[in-house]
């Protein structure tokens, strides 16, 4: 037995160390956070690069487009390319992209760097199935929960951290600091992460072609992808529209809205608990609770905003985020157990579905708020939760 195989066998029998799991969680959260740093700074960046205010949103859209492309075309590579190498390459390109954004003085290099960051930040979605492979089944939900908690924390903290750092040191410093973090994480993973060779001999075109067959032949993947698309649609619906409501109904400024987002990140604390419960066979119940909770707490948030109850609105944000986390952890635990040699493609399909749902949610957030205020947004969020619950009931009735 080679040293590499012996190392992998030992990890699978005993589970990865706490230090390795922590490093993977930090890497996943930090990678995903890169997608969101520029969003609250877009006006300042556009002014310095000489971009018309009407076109400023394209700066962040480029990153989102890159992320969507990476979810499908790069994450699926995990079934073909040695996983450690793939992760380190994506980290390196992300670091270079961040330095490119920080040093850009014109639109074109900034947009190219943004696109590369979007594509390669999907390295986080290579790490999640990898860590699921490394841990024994009885601990898988707990560990995936911890990593997904870090991912949600990265998403929630990215915008406020970006605002706070830029206010003190300028917007370029945000990307320089993140590049430094990518470098440190890359060195740590290069030392700690075991090699994970793919279990398929398929070519990359064959892998891409096989994904339609996976969708057709794997009902649980279809259902779980639909659920997460709906729930992530609701998540983005909430966080796109709530800043408008906080400003209009509570008079909060940008920094105070950032603090509200920090409070909302508390939903990530549910991840380890959900993972442990999923390991005890309660995944189906947790998914149902997540969808009921989504519908209920959106409705409560409608009352909270109209009544001027800021603390209650913040509590709703925490619990909505916890519902999103619960379904995500349960779903990924289920799909990672389908076929180890197909985890990259399974996760690519699942996360691409979630991304599409999130993109729709961002559009709906703006649309519903401008058409019906926060009451309209809250009603839409509740409807999404009820839709997910109805489909969930339909799946289990058919089963």
> Residue 311: its pLDDT value, please?
94
Does the structure show a pLDDT above 70 at 2? no
Q: Which residues lie below 8 Å from residue 298, measured CB to CB, with a gap of 6+?
A: 234, 238, 316, 320, 378, 379, 381, 382, 384, 385
- Stronger pLDDT, 87 or 243, i.e. the higher one: 87
> Residue 351: its pLDDT value, please?
94
Residue pair 171/41 in contact by the 8 Å Cβ criterion: yes
Q: Give the pTM.
A: 0.87
Residue 79 host element (H or E):
none
> Residue 53: its pLDDT value, please?
60
Q: What is the pLDDT of residues 14-27, one digit of tens each?
A: 678 889 999 999 99
Q: What is the pLDDT of residues 271-283, one digit of tens each?
A: 888 888 888 989 8
Percent of the chain predicted with pLDDT > 70: 95
> Residue 10: its pLDDT value, please?
47
Tokens 């997460």 belong to residue: 228
Q: How far apart are alpha carbons 361 and 228 in whole angstroms?
A: 12
> Residue 23: its pLDDT value, please?
95
Percent of the chain predicted with pLDDT > 90: 60
Question: What is the distance, to the nearest Å, from the Cα of residue 129 to the centroid of all Cα atoms in its chain?
Answer: 14
Residue pair 251/311 in contact by the 8 Å Cβ criterion: no
Residue 6 host element (H or E):
helix 3-14
DSSP class per residue in 199-228: S----HHHHHHHHHHHHHH-HHHHHHHHHH
Does the structure show a pLDDT above 80 at 298? yes
Does the structure show a pLDDT above 70 at 6? no
In this structure, of 44-58, 170-184, 306-320, 360-374, the range with the lowest mean pLDDT score is 44-58
Residue pair 233/358 in contact by the 8 Å Cβ criterion: yes
Q: For 297-303, which contacts have Cβ atoms below 8 Å and span 24 or more sequence positions?
A: 297/323, 298/234, 298/238, 298/378, 298/379, 298/381, 298/382, 298/384, 298/385, 299/378, 299/379, 299/382, 301/238, 301/374, 301/378, 301/381, 302/374, 302/375, 302/377, 302/378, 302/379, 302/382
Other CB atoms within 10 A of residue 182 CB: 28
Q: How far apart are alpha carbons 183 and 5 in whole angstroms?
A: 27
Q: What is the pLDDT of residues 329-380, one digit of tens each?
A: 999 999 988 988 899 999 999 999 999 998 899 889 989 999 999 999 999 9
> Residue 376: its pLDDT value, please?
96
């Amino acid at each position: 037995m080679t040293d590499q195989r012996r190392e992998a066998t030992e990890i699978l029998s005993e589970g990865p160390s706490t230090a390795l799991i922590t490093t993977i969680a930090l890497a996943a959260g930090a990678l995903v956070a890169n997608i969101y740093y520029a969003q609250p700074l877009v006006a300042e960046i556009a002014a310095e690069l000489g971009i018309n205010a009407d076109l400023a949103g394209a700066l962040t859209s480029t990153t989102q487009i890159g992320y969507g492309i990476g979810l499908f075309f790069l994450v699926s590579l995990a079934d073909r390319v040695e996983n450690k190498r793939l992760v380190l390459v994506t980290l390196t390109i992300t670091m270079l992209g961040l330095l490119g954004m920080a040093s850009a003085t014109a639109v074109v290099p900034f947009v190219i760097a943004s696109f590369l960051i979007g594509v390669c930040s999907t390295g986080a979605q290579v790490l999640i199935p990898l860590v699921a492979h490394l841990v024994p089944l009885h601990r898988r939900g707990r560990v995936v929960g911890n990593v997904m908690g870090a991912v949600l924390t990265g998403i929630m903290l990215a915008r406020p951290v970006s605002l706070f750092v830029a206010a003190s040191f300028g917007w370029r410093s945000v990307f320089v600091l993140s590049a430094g973090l990518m470098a440190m994480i890359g060195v740590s993973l290069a030392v700690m992460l075991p090699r994970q060779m793919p279990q398929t001999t398929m070519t990359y075109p064959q892998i891409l072609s096989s994904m339609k067959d996976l969708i057709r032949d794997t009902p649980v993947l279809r259902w779980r992808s639909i659920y997460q698309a709906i729930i992530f649609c609701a998540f983005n619906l909430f966080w796109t529209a709530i800043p408008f409501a906080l400003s209009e109904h509570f008079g909060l400024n940008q920094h105070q809205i950032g603090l509200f987002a920090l409070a909302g990140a508390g939903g990530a604390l549910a991840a380890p608990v959900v993972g442990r419960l999923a390991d005890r066979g309660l995944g189906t119940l947790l998914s149902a609770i997540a969808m009921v909770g989504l519908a209920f707490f959106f409705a409560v948030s409608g009352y909270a905003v109209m009544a001027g109850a800021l603390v209650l609105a913040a509590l709703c944000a925490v619990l909505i985020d916890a519902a999103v986390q619960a379904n995500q952890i349960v779903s990924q635990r289920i799909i990672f157990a389908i076929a180890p040699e197909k985890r990259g493609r399974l996760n690519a399909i699942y996360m691409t579905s979630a991304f599409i749902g999130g993109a729709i949610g961002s559009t709906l957030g703006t649309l519903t708020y401008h058409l019906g205020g926060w009451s309209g947004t809250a009603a839409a969020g509740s409807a999404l939760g009820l839709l997910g619950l109805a489909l969930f009931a339909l799946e289990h009735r058919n089963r």
